[in-house]
Amino acid sequence: MDLSGNHFRSLVSLAHFVNLEELILDDNQLDENDIAFPRLPKLHSLMINKNKFEDIFQLIECLRCVYPELTHLSLLGNAACPYG
């Protein structure tokens, strides 16, 4: 599912998509302080490029808990991973 460029600050509505495997959230307003990632047990690919994530350690710890099958993560263009 591609939800890029929508100025999202919350992902609450995604909790209903429990079978989601790929999610693209590039160019939104997401950061690790205000975001509550919904539990998506089948998600294996997440793109959150060009958002506002600054603390990569906090973000990874959060993602590890809610996305146990995650194998691909892209963070380019965030303060936590600015290059690319």
Predicted TM-score of the model (pTM): 0.91
Token pair 């965030």 in the structure block, residue: 78
Name the helix (H) or strand (E) containing 23. Answer: strand 22-24
Kindly report, residue by residue over 12-39, the tens digit of the pLDDT: 899 999 999 999 999 999 998 878 899 9
Tell me the mean pLDDT in the region 33-51. Answer: 93
Instruction: Output DSSP code: residue 47.
Output: E
d(CA 73, CA 13): 21
